[in-house]
Chains A and B, each alone.
Chain A
């Protein structure tokens, strides 16, 4: 039971709005001490995993220079202009289309998209542009809601398409687990049983995007004029 102290530290830390890095480090140290590791050992573990997981940070750092450059030369403005020409576009429809593309491509094993490479420079500006083309200037909170939904569209598309492809990640992990247990479970049956949830996820996102469009229309009609964000 005492091993769960780390979870308690995390919960308390998030509830008290302490610095997240501090909460995570404190939780690791508390858990390690309870499991009988020395302070030195725990820091060595932190160091080992920190180095091993550098790949999590690598794409962001390599992508931001070129995205920053393109943004300075008007990439977000271009994405907005591009979408303004599409009459039927709304913020919700742009995001739904992106999620569909993301789900289908990743189900076929092609991982395109991402928060730094696609959502910030293209998807979020297109969704905002579509909303602005219909409703004019938007209140700041509406812009923030559209952006948060853009990040959600990326995550849903990414997570709930991936399990259908057999050659990567989740399905192989499950296969490995069953192999280790001495059970013979086929990769295709696991991949196929990912499809119903993938469809549900898309339907749920359709519902949220529909709600987003209604919210944008309502807030644009009543909200205060938005300041230029540059």
Chain B
């Protein structure tokens, strides 16, 4: 049992999202006022009451959010933030002090991860040790907000207004990672991975040691592209291709196979819109007009690392 769990921070996120919905509802100039307010309200509900609402109801709430996004009723407000001249004026006053809150986030995250997980009173933990990294990061964000408000002497509503603006810039893509995790779960339940592993193993002349390596690395990358997650691909592709072909048939080293195989999966992560939190959300966050700009930039990187992985594994896995 622990005093502070991640649920506390889910509730805070829920409150922030509720305030975002409220701001939109009160903003008469918002181009998609009703749909956007409803979208953020529904998301707030899943964060505030996710643990008590039955999953099927959450499913229908999610369906409603998807429908709102699909009919283009979720948009950003037209309100303007500060101009560049105003920002430069503040910057000249504050200088290096602006960096302290930004650095306090990772500092708290690291210190908290190292320390908070060890604090307990008898059998009661201060924070849930399994969630200590997330809790420390969340604490860091809240402490940084307090420090930021003190340093800038900004009105309390400013972070809400600016945060709301940034969240609306990301828009419905914010829930994409959660949706893709759900899709990955459904794929896993339906046994999609096993089918892919069988097709790859049957279609290629895997009696050649190099082909076995290529099939395994390509399987990891492809299945990661489909699932958006190399961890989900690992068990399926290693069980279906890696172990039977590389280790058992050709006598390869399992540690080398696993390490380089996982990194081949990461090449897939660089290429897939399914890994939305790495590839799509950042594109929105950096205000790039092309949603796929990050993936396009990463494509040559992923291809080069993938080729190197195949060669590395082929040269090492049967030798060490």
Contacts and interface: CB of A to CB of B under 8 A. Distances in A.
A183 to B, nearest CB: 6
Given A66-B148, A197-B260, A170 B231 contact: yes
Contact of B55 (A51, A74, A122, A183): A51
A100 to B, nearest CB: 15
A193 B309 CA distance: 11
Given A10-B226, A35-B189, A193 B55 contact: no
Nearest to A184: B254
Given A32-B190, A35-B190, A65 B273 contact: no
A53 interface: yes
B152 A69 contact: yes
Interface residues of A, number: 114
Contacts of B81: 71-72, 230
A152 B182 contact: no
A193 B256 contact: yes
Interface string B99-110: 101100110011
Interface in B29-67: 46-47, 50-51, 53-63, 65-66
Interface in B79-106: 81-85, 87-92, 94-96, 98-99, 101-102, 105-106
Contact of A55 (B6, B191, B296): B6
Contact of A163 (B98, B101, B262): B262
A124 B259 contact: no
B181 interface: yes
Interface residues of B, number: 140
A122 B69 CA distance: 31
Contacts of A155: 269-270, 278-279, 294, 298
A158 B98 CA distance: 25
Contacts of A52: 181
Interface string B288-320: 111001101110110011001100100010000
Interface in A11-39: 14, 18-22, 24-25, 27-28, 31-32, 34-35
A89 interface: no
B116 interface: no
Nearest to B298: A152
Contacts of B282: 115, 119-120, 151, 154
Given A3-B190, A35-B189, A112-B109, A46 B59 contact: yes
Interface in A117-157: 117-122, 124, 144-145, 147-152, 154-156
A50 B255 contact: no
A97 interface: no
A209 B46 CA distance: 41
A190 B110 contact: no
7 contacts: A18-B70, A57-B178, A65-B16, A73-B90, A74-B89, A177-B235, A230-B81
Interface of B: 6, 9-10, 12-13, 16-17, 46-47, 50-51, 53-63, 65-66, 69-70, 81-85, 87-92, 94-96, 98-99, 101-102, 105-106, 109-110, 133-134, 137-138, 141-142, 144-145, 148-149, 152, 154, 158-163, 165-167, 170, 172-187, 189-192, 195-196, 226, 230-231, 234-235, 238-239, 243, 254-256, 258-260, 262-263, 266, 269-270, 273-274, 276-283, 285-290, 293-294, 296-298, 300-301, 304-305, 308-309, 312, 316
Interface of A: 1, 3-4, 6-7, 10, 14, 18-22, 24-25, 27-28, 31-32, 34-35, 40, 42-78, 81, 110-113, 115-122, 124, 144-145, 147-152, 154-156, 158-160, 163, 169-170, 173-174, 177-178, 181, 183, 185-186, 189-194, 196-197, 200-201, 204-205, 207-208, 228-230
